[in-house]
Structure 1
């Protein structure tokens, strides 16, 4: 099938759209990327999304209007690629996450992804699958991360243990044990490691008074000095890092509220020192997750997401994982920037073929489930 995957991450930088030709199912899964593009949100819509994700209150009417506006943006993104590259058989749309609440003891979690799937199907005239997280949440899972089920078949190795580390707004990993082990499929794990680009991007926007949206290449942060004592406090006082997997998080924890909570400590540092310290915190939180919860350090880490291009962040991660080879997923056949959109395309493809898409060992769900709601135009 020719499938279009759509997703906007927690940073709401824009809509990632990937068209892929997909064959096979799991062990024989083959994904050929035809095109990938990031299509920017209208600035006013992006500002509204970030306000809501930061906890800005809104009425039910405002929420549904935002849901419709995001759906229209996703539909236009799909139509942009289709007009240039030809039609597709299926659309998979993750939507825009604005709130994520992991399950608590005796209580199901919930997660809100805006971008009305039925509207996308009707506006494009193409069957659309959306709302991928809800079925996993309904059977007691975290609803995240969902990508490890795809990583398992696209990026595993017969000769080495690997971690696939996405550094989007939030960081998340997939642990892929070497495939020559008899039970390797059941040993795959994945969870959110904590902050990715979220804190850095928000700090840059504040420190530049809105002139910049991110620190290109980590060049600004690289001129600063790391406040190691403050990093250590964050790591020690934040109970998320001690929480064993399965676990998931979002901008609710690592967003404006975090920066406001620690504003007094941050404001005594120069702008460059703040960014250097937040970069170090991001890198050390990833490495700390590896050491606490993986059965062993991986032989290789495959990076993807926007953080891959932050050279200072990658250098700090390598400093904390000196014995581990660090590469990008590009070097192993999966486009690092398109990877999340490709995963959504695969999840939609599986749903269309009635194949379960979650990994209970990753999300903590009681059982495997069909992921996604199907909308036929």
Structure 2
């Protein structure tokens, strides 16, 4: 089956689209990336999404219009990929997250059930199906949430299939807007799948992107090639203060988003930086170092053992300063982009949702309770299709 995976992450820098050839059943899977493309959001649409993520109030009719426009843009990305690489049988769309609330703390039975997680992704699947004429799987997080999970992260199960090794323990670290990790023990395919751990490690590019966009007067969306960070000097005392955030002591399973590490957190960081007399370059360097330190600290705090190798995907894998600082904080472990082992660092997350859509069609569970905290493994996604015209 040829499946298009679509996702736009918390950086809101556009839609990653991957056309993937899939064969096999369950974890016994062969995956070939046929083509990928990065489809940018129109500037005004990106600003609307970012404003909503930052907590701007919105009327329901405007929210509906924004949802439709995101879906149409996702459909346009799929059509562009088809025009480039040929037909597809199925679309699997994660959509655009604009709000994520993790699972609430357990409460005594007499106080009622624990609060479920809540998450909102724009770009409804039925509109994508209507615009493309292709069956579309979407709403991947809801079934895991209904089973008591965080609904995130969902990629670790696909990382297990694509990136595990028979003798190496590996961490697969995605550095999108938010960072997330999958810890993969060694696995020979002749044995049952091992217990995979995974969680959101905290901010990756979200704070860096906000800083560069703000400090450049809106002319730059992110720190291209780490140029700003390379010219600055990190303030270690501020990093230690930021690492005192309660999220970093909360044990997994856990997930987060711009609700914690977005504009409000950045404004606090900026005020603290101004109090220390930091230049714009210093602030970006400090936020970059903060990301690297927080990832390494999460590993040392919550992993049963450090991995033999760290494989990095997402936009952060293209930031040489961030990659170098992560390597500096894990000096005994090779830190490489996933490209080094044959999986595209740019499109790994889109590939993951193509696989989850394929598993949805097979009726195969796509979550890992050890990662999301769900009570059981469940089939993920909701299927939308357009009936043929008479």
Task: After superposing the two structures, state which structure 1 stretch, 240-249 or 312-321, moved more.
Answer: 312-321
Distance in structure 1 (CA, Å) of the matches to 2:191 and 2:154: 20
Task: Give the distance between the partners of 2:262 and 2:152, measured in 1 at CA.
Answer: 18
> 1:200: which partner in 2?
208
- Aligned mate of 1:146, from 154, 157, 161: 154
Q: CA deviation at 1:243?
A: 0.3
Instruction: Answer yes or no: is the 8 Å Cα contact 2:185–2:194 preserved in 1.
Output: no
Give the structure-2-normalised TM-score.
0.94
| Counterpart-to-counterpart distance in 1, 2:333 and 2:341 | 16
**Could you say which residue in structure 1 is the equivalent of 2:132?**
124
Give 4+ residue runs of structure 1 displaced > 4 Å after superposition: 180-184
**1: CA distance, partners of 2:34 / 2:199:** 29
After superposition, the CA RMSD in angstroms is: 1.3
User: How many aligned positions are there?
Assistant: 376
CA contact (8 A) 1:171 1:196 kept: yes
Task: Quote the residue 1:339 is aligned against.
Answer: 348
TM (norm. structure 1) is 0.97
**Residue 225 (structure 1) shift:** 1.0
Post-superposition CA distance 1:29-71 (Å, at most 9, x none): 1111111001111111010000001111111111111110100
User: Aligned partners of 1:49 and 1:144: how far apart in 2?
Assistant: 20
Corresponding residue for residue 221 of structure 2: 213
Partner residue, 2:267 = 260
1:1-377 alignment, distance < 5 Å? 1-105=1-105, 106-179=114-187, 185-236=193-244, 238-267=245-274, 268-377=277-386
The answer (yes or no) to whether the contact 1:71–1:115 under 8 Å persists in 2 is yes
- Structure 2 unaligned residues grouped into runs of 5+: 106-113
Q: Partners of 2:61 and 2:189 in 1: how far apart?
A: 53
Contact 2:6 2:350 in 1 (8 A): yes
Alpha-carbon contact 1:178-1:184 (below 8 Å) kept: no
The structural deviation recorded for 1:262 is 2.9
**Cα distance, 1:137–1:27 mapped onto 2, change above 3 Å:** closer
How far residue 86 of structure 1 moved from its aligned partner, in angstroms, is: 2.2
Instruction: Quote how far apart the aligned CAs of 1:264 are.
Output: 2.0
Supply the distance in 2 between the matched residues of 1:67 and 1:169 (Cα, whole angstroms): 21
Partner deviation per Cα, 1:165-222 (whole Å, 9 max, x = no partner): 0000000000000115998734211100000100001000111111211111112111
> Aligned partners of 2:44, 2:302: CA distance in 1, in Å?
41
Separation of aligned partners in 2, 1:165 and 1:134: 23
SS in 1 for 2:241: helix
